[in-house]
Chains A and B, each alone.
Chain A
């Protein structure tokens, strides 16, 4: 296998730059410009992997991104292992380490190949049939077996050390595909002055021009013309050329996702260079020039290493200077393979025979073959291949099966079943396909988006057609955007007009039931599997696809969909267009998660909002918890302290002296205008007209459906100005709801809303010593209970900083909420903390806040309510302004369902064992002895250890709970069932005596 298969000087690889790389630990040499596939074949290596299901040896089938077989694992360094990389797209660089997949212990000797002999076990739908009985085998035998066997390649375990970039981009015209059609389109649009982006998934732009040998354009060879065209495009400042960039998805209104590979082909790149970049392109016009994909032929043994697409062999020869074998047989139903055979023969490869399934291929082609001394078998078919790890011979016989079979020796079999226009992106754009009866293929129908399809992807096969169509499309797209464009003409000479026919499984004189004629190489689906699926009753192509898994592998059936459809249609006995093609879905080729994530990793994965006091909490060792996008201090453990101990200590400090709490995340909305009170009346359940400036009220907000949406203390700063607070998580939602009513239902009201959540830092001080702490620091506000009673607000200053000082309490203790402009929040906090040391002040977190409010039966929206609680259900009926004619949700409170007396209502729960802290969310039953499934009558919403009470407390919603105070309910848990007594929701200081203590 060391013999050189390289014709130095041919193709576009750089022969002056040898590259050493490894495959399965063996070092090989290729050249800069090689793909792993071309470099391996230059070293005579065809066997590159084992197949997914049967572990059959597999070689390289194609030369592009459609490759189903040659999937390898690639190591780019620690944490940079990537499975399932297509060897045909992987550019080699010095030190590249690759390995084959799906085998053990080695590629050449693979235990899993036993599956090939157990063929019948693995036919279509084997998952559904084989592993059914006995039932007990499922968890112990079948599932572990399937899990071990399933999946392609091995996923890496380490976090991805690479970074990824992403950006939006806008252009006039996006051209997808850098072959002759795409280049002509880009030239036409670019010369007209349009802003153009031209993308191609390969390292080099050029497409078929990279392997074109026959035709000339304007007297230049294809490759010469390509170089000139690319230079001309590079000179246009309004044209962006992106190679190694795959258009992965085509979305609404010409929004196209591109994945650009930046570093994978490089031996070294600067640390921090993004590996890939996702382009989110919005284009005025799109030109799809994706070309076509060669179709394999379906016959017994068509998957043996050395059996490959004829066009691919031609590409390897002309683009990479690699002869894929020494002795070739060509089998085809399309003229294009003849050209591949001619190129091979001229390059010195022994072409044993051209086997053409058609009875009447072009006389001209036959004549040319004769001149080259190639045996021609017209009207013959292939019925089998031999060779264990590489094809050694092929068996052929006449299509009419009327003559003797021949055995032809070979080391490569080049096949061509015609060409399938690449319709993936067109289909992503919701374009419907059109059936071309004469050529038996699907073509793009009407374009839904502002786009055009040109070249082979539009069924226009050949260089002259591609150039002409591309030019016209580029010019027309530019004209539609208002650019002047002049048509170009491309004189193409020496091009051969190509045609072909399509076959299902090839005719054979052998038992077709025993043929391993593969349709989907990657998922190991054979023609027989598809026919079996139809026999078993599957008629829809979408069902056949899922039952057989045809077209469902990482290549999404690029080489198999049409063959699968043709065979299914034949089996169903209906024409192909009636059976229809399965849906193409993005991404066009497998795409890394990193590319989709882009910058959204680690700290940038999600916004973490922090208050002005957050850094202080962090330096004090606070443990944080996420609350909507915010991170909030959860509790402040001292060294060695458990959460339980820290919370108990924080609670005790608040009840006995003073605690401080960062309440900055509370939503705040300033409601200003002559109709402010009227607006509040219409929105909240409470009456606002009589609330005097300088006073506050607990406000309850319902949805129009009558269910509680939000709550918060609302202060009236002046006749026309309210300071509304909302829950932390509800801030944006409440403002949106307010704006909705104001803009669309009551646009006549003179009132305006402004979010001031982040204008103010809010420091909550709670505890009997809170007034004493504030007194010396506050100016301009009389803190006496007469002047600033509970539920009052005043403006003045604290520590020399303007403040809105609220006298409110969410703990039951004397409480204040100090609002200061955000940039002063940290400094005021620190001053209060220092001054509070004489009272033993503690900073407390959200957990202590939750415990203290639960002791008082104050609800948390979203925890004790779940969108199905009315004010009465939550014990908040008192908030409703009885004389108000209307407010949002009022009418719904009179609906029959809302008046039922068995609605779930918020109550307290005291467990019979006071040390038991119930699980929040635990279900409640009346009768613990009833049979399973039990009737669940409610659930625990809040549950804590109360240090003040020396026992656990809980809140719950229970059917008709408010009528059941004193009754015992049961909470079944996996280990035991707890009993609890229904109580009032206020556990601590029910007389509210501490509010002025």
Chain B
């Protein structure tokens, strides 16, 4: 069971309090009717499925109940960092330097 740092609670909590919520930084178009079929298909269904570092969303559903974003390694399973929803995607190079 992983430990996950919730950026809202500012605490490491056990994985059972969280649920995964898909890839992060996929923004719903402001006006979906303006997207063509391919763009909308991509928005709905096309995902990175990264092997390695992956930006993804989690929810501290049995804690503060907030959705947040994370950078996680899908090979080791471990979290590299977590940050609040709405914040920009951190640069992987910056994180690696600070590690």
A residues contacting B by CB (< 8 A) are 251-253, 255, 280, 282, 430, 448, 704-705, 736, 739-740, 743-745, 747, 885-886, 890-892, 894-896
Contacts and interface: CB of A to CB of B under 8 A. Distances in A.
B94 interface: no
Given A705-B44, A890-B33, A891-B40, 5 more contacts: A282-B3, A743-B67, A744-B57, A885-B33, A886-B32
B85 A743 contact: yes
A405 B21 CA distance: 71
A166 B33 CA distance: 54
29 contacts: A252-B77, A253-B1, A253-B2, A253-B3, A253-B78, A282-B3, A430-B76, A448-B76, A704-B28, A704-B44, A705-B44, A736-B19, A736-B59, A739-B67, A740-B21, A740-B59, A743-B67, A743-B85, A744-B57, A744-B67, A744-B85, A744-B86, A745-B28, A747-B85, A891-B33, A894-B33, A895-B40, A895-B41, A896-B37
B67 to A, nearest CB: 5
A756 to B, nearest CB: 15
Contacts of B74: none
Interface residues of B, number: 27
Nearest to B33: A891
A486 B49 CA distance: 49
Contacts of A430: 76
A251 B1 contact: yes
Given A744-B67, A744-B85, A892-B40, A886 B57 contact: no
Contacts of A745: 27-28
A616 B1 CA distance: 41
Interface string B26-47: 0110011101010011001000
Contacts of B21: 740
The 8 closest A-B pairs by CB, nearest first: A891-B32, A743-B67, A744-B85, A252-B2, A745-B28, A253-B3, A255-B1, A744-B67
Contact of B86 (A740, A747, A890): A747
A597 to B, nearest CB: 17
B65 interface: yes
Contacts of B65: 739
Interface in B63-82: 65-67, 76-78
B61 interface: yes
Contacts of B78: 252-253
Nearest to B3: A253
Contacts, number: 56
A896 B38 CA distance: 11
B1 A891 contact: no
A892 B67 CA distance: 25
A891 B76 contact: no
Given A747-B86, A891-B35, A740 B67 contact: yes
Contacts of A886: 31-33
Contact of B31 (A252, A885, A895): A885
Contacts of A747: 85-86
Nearest to B45: A705
A704 B44 CA distance: 7
Contacts of B41: 895
B12 to A, nearest CB: 9
A826 to B, nearest CB: 29
Instruction: Describe A's contact surface by its main secondary structure.
Output: mixed
Interface string B7-31: 0000000100001010000011001
A157 B78 CA distance: 42
Contacts of B85: 743-744, 747
A742 to B, nearest CB: 9
Contacts of B33: 885-886, 890-891, 894
A886 B86 CA distance: 22
Nearest to A745: B28
Given A704-B44, A740-B21, A886-B31, A895 B1 contact: no
Nearest to A168: B14
B89 to A, nearest CB: 14
B39 to A, nearest CB: 10
A708 to B, nearest CB: 16
Contacts of A252: 1-2, 77-78
Nearest to B32: A891
A430 B73 CA distance: 14
A736 B76 contact: no
Contacts of B31: 885-886
Given A252-B78, A743-B85, A895 B37 contact: yes
B35 A736 contact: no
Question: A253, A448, A744 — which one has the most chain B CB atoms within 10 A of its CB?
Answer: A744
Contacts of B27: 745
A61 B78 CA distance: 41
A252 B78 CA distance: 8
A448 B78 CA distance: 11
Contacts of B86: 744, 747
Given A891-B32, A891-B40, A895-B37, A736 B61 contact: yes
A255 B32 CA distance: 45
Nearest to A254: B3
Contacts of B32: 886, 890-891
Nearest to A706: B44
Nearest to A705: B44
Contacts of A282: 3, 14
B58 to A, nearest CB: 12
Contacts of B19: 736
B71 to A, nearest CB: 16
A886 B21 CA distance: 23
Contacts of A280: 1
B37 to A, nearest CB: 6
A448 B44 CA distance: 36
A896 B61 CA distance: 36
A892 B14 CA distance: 37
Contacts of B44: 704-705, 892
A739 B59 CA distance: 10
A891 B1 CA distance: 39
B14 to A, nearest CB: 8
A253 B27 CA distance: 32
A891 B57 CA distance: 23
A744 B87 CA distance: 11
Nearest to A895: B37
A749 to B, nearest CB: 14
A902 B24 CA distance: 35
A583 to B, nearest CB: 15
A430 B77 CA distance: 11
B5 to A, nearest CB: 11
B86 to A, nearest CB: 7
Nearest to A889: B32
A934 to B, nearest CB: 31
A986 B66 CA distance: 43
A917 B61 CA distance: 43
Nearest to B1: A255
A892 B61 CA distance: 28
Contacts of B40: 891-892, 895
A280 B14 CA distance: 12
Contacts of A705: 44
Contacts of B14: 282
A743 B76 contact: no
A740 B14 CA distance: 21
A602 to B, nearest CB: 22
A327 B66 CA distance: 72
A448 B1 CA distance: 15
A747 B68 CA distance: 13
Nearest to B86: A747
Nearest to B61: A736
Nearest to B15: A252
A739 B85 CA distance: 12
A607 B21 CA distance: 24
A430 B1 CA distance: 14
Interface string B43-57: 010000000000001
A526 B44 CA distance: 55
A890 B57 CA distance: 24
A744 B3 CA distance: 23
